[in-house]
Every structure is written in C-alpha cells, then in structure tokens.
Amino acid sequence: MYGLIHCALRDHVAFQYGEDLIAEVLDTAGVTEEHFVVMQAYDDEITLGLIGAACEVLKVDPDELLVAFGKFWVLDTAVKYYGPVMSFAGRTLEKFLGNLDLMHEQVAATFTNLRQPSFEILPSDGPNIELIYKSERDGLTEFVRGLLLGLGEHFQQEVAVSISGLKSEGEPHDIFLIELKDDQSRSGS
C-alpha cells in the first residue's frame, strides 16, 4: 500500500488518541519516517503491521480501529487529497458509490502500480443499497465499512452498514447492505 495510507493512519491516531502515542505505535511496528512517503508503494505487510501495532498500543479491537480509520479516511484524508475528484464522482451517496471505480481510475493515474479495489451496486427496487466490494487484499472489510459510514456523513445521509456476505466465509466477494434512514440518496444527480 502507499505511504498515504500510513500518513492517514498516523493522523487518525493523533486525532483520535493523541500525538503522544504515535512514536510508540511506530516503534512497536518497527516503522520509521521513511515509510511515510505519500507516493511511495510499500509492502502490504508494513501497513498491516502498522495497523496491528496501533491496535496493540491503543488497546483497541482491530475491527473498531479499522471502522474508525475508514471514516477518518473519507472525512479527512480523502477530502484533503482527492476533494475535486470526489466532487465530480457524485452529489449523492448512491451516485458516488456507482462512480467509485471511475474515481479509482482517476487516482490510479497518479499512483504507479496501484492495486485498487472494485465496487458494484446490485440492482434494487427498495431504498437500500447492496454493494459488492472486490479486492485482492484480505482483512480490510471493516475499513470499507468505515468508508461507507464516512461517506454517509459526507453526503449527510444517515446510514446503517451491515455485511451480508463475506469473502472469508466462502462468498466470492464481500457484500455490504447500506440501509438508508431516509430516501435522500436516490434523488439528485
């Protein structure tokens, strides 16, 4: 994964838990400042080790950390680094989710060898959204749940996000059910 992920996780830890714990997280992970070059690709094991160290130092459950980090990514990091791209991806949650792959293609032009995920909205007659998340990486399901919750906040759409299918339990991909608390998402462009 890219150094941008590492920078965002460091920012999340500082924001949520305090800057004084960052050095301990980095030391526990065996990570130095050289692992925080935004545009540099790093082995996934470094990133996962950093997440594991954060959980250990902060004494927080990995799923809890990943959900909170996913929300932080959308509401802070993505807005800072990808604000204009996010604006063009859609003005409603559903439109944005439908354009995620196109947005990732735009981002991939900046990052060499980006291994981006793919998302697909399943057809539905009701107000809820069923979203397929395809990735060659395992272990990021709760991060994606956090992203979806963060997107709900970003679009001022109250949502509940549950997982209706897990790749780790035999499904071909993770499947999320996004329950809309009102029907704002299906109006607008």
Give ∠ CA 106-43-108 in degrees, rounded to 5: 5
If one counts the domains in the chain, the total is 2
Residues of the domain holding 45: 3-60
Same domain, 153 and 123: yes
pLDDT digits (tens, 9 = 90+) for 58-68: 999 999 999 99
d(CA 107, CA 169): 30
Last residue of a domain, one of 60, 76, 105: 60
Which pLDDT tens digits describe the chain residue by residue (189 residues)? 888 999 999 999 999 999 999 999 999 999 998 889 888 888 899 999 999 999 999 999 999 999 999 999 999 999 898 887 788 888 899 999 999 888 777 666 666 666 788 999 998 888 899 999 999 888 899 999 999 999 999 999 999 999 999 999 999 999 999 999 875 544 444
pLDDT digits (tens, 9 = 90+) for 1-32: 888 999 999 999 999 999 999 999 999 999 99
Pick left, alpha or beta for residue 187 (phi over 0 → left; psi -120 to 50 → alpha; otherwise beta): beta
| β-bridge pairing 129-134 and 159-165 | unpaired
Same domain, 142 and 90: yes
Q: C-alpha 31: how far from its chain's center?
A: 21
Last residue of a domain, one of 16, 38, 60: 60
Same domain, 77 and 49: no
Same domain, 49 and 80: no
Compute the mean pLDDT over every residue in the chain, rounded to the nearest whole number: 89
CA distances from 174 to 47, 64, 133, 137, 145 (A): 21, 18, 5, 11, 10
Task: Report yes or no on whether pTM surpasses 0.75.
Answer: yes
Same domain, 127 and 101: yes
